[in-house]
Amino acid sequence: MGDSLSDASAQRLGQTFAVGRQLLLVLRLVRYRFFLFAGLLPYLLGAAWALRIQGRVEPGMFWSGLGGVVLSVVGVEAFNEYFDAKMGTDRVFNPEDLPAVSESVLWLGIAAFAGALAVGVHLTMHAGWPILGFAALGGAAAIFYEAPPIRWIYRGLGETAIAIAYGPAMVLGCLYLQTQRVSVGAFWASLIPGLLIMALAVVNAIPDFHQDRLVGKRNLVVRLGRRRGVWLYLGLAGAALAVDAAGVASGDFPPLCSAALLSLPLLLLSARRAFANYESALRFRPAIGSMLACYVAGVSLFIAGLLPW
């Protein structure tokens, strides 16, 4: 009897530790993706545009909005981790190496999205109903990226959903929060992070081509193939930099925003690595790193160019 109780206690303790490890994994992913590209930079771009046109940002609204972004990204990562595990995407080739994902990860995502919705309602009461519209647009893209019943990524629409959520929805939402208006110029500016993050979504899928295809994840790389996927992500990133150059030339963006073009060598480095290694998941990783660096450098330099120095 005593041994049975000890075994049961040890099993419950082990399950608790397993849940804790999974939650920490989600939070580590959130920290990496949020601070490098997922939410912070597009949100700061919207705030920088507001600062450019009205000379200030309202701190309370800024920090409340940022809190909603953080909660949304926590929800996205938790949902992606949970539903990827349920579909077996990460376990196609190594089913025994990864522990089962706990239902606690799902509930973490639900709680995070509920918190983000509460923030959205609060901000709507202060800034007007369009805020809820921007939140709903971004939320629909984020929540149903992997989650049923829509599952954008299984329909070849996941990359577009990411571009909308972390491009126009995020940038214009932050701008409206501060100014209660949007502009055509700001929309063009929002395409820069939108297209670059769509490129990141495509390049990240290239090493996962085989397992994604086996579980029925019909993303753009699965539909086009890996080599065409390389051309696609390079074209998307190149289009983002072309928007920057065209906006500066037309006067829609300040001249200093042309500094974003300094990220072009990173894109070319990614291209060289990608074409040489797209058939090897392990050797392809540096191409992803260079594309990520291109995103961070390009959007950061664009934001710096908007600031009133």
Chain segment 173-211, per-residue pLDDT in tens: 999 999 999 999 999 999 999 999 999 999 999 999 998
Does residue 125 fall inside a structural domain? yes
Is 90 exceeded by the pLDDT of residue 38? no
Would you say 151 and 133 are in contact if contact means Cβ atoms under 8 Å apart? no
pLDDT of res. 267: 98
Does residue 188 fall inside a structural domain? yes
Does residue 151 fall inside a structural domain? yes
pLDDT of res. 35: 42
Does residue 146 fall inside a structural domain? yes
Token pair recorded at residue 66: 């940022």
What are the tens digits of pLDDT across the range 230-244?
999 999 999 999 999
Does residue 194 fall inside a structural domain? yes
Q: What domain range is 62 assigned to?
A: 22-306
Does residue 64 fall inside a structural domain? yes
Is 70 exceeded by the pLDDT of residue 164? yes
Token pair recorded at residue 126: 């202060």
Query: CB neighbours of 78 closer than 8 A, spacing ≥ 6?
Result: 26, 105, 106, 108, 109, 112
Is 80 exceeded by the pLDDT of residue 2? no
Does residue 14 fall inside a structural domain? no
Query: In whole angstroms, what is the distance from residue 305 CA to residue 309 CA?
Result: 9
How many Cβ atoms from other residues are within 10 Å of residue 13's Cβ? Answer: 10
How many domains is the chain partitioned into structurally? 1
What are the tens digits of pLDDT across the range 64-85?
999 998 888 888 888 887 887 7
Is 70 exceeded by the pLDDT of residue 14? no
Does residue 16 fall inside a structural domain? no
Query: CB neighbours of 215 closer than 8 A, spacing ≥ 6?
Result: 87, 88, 89, 92
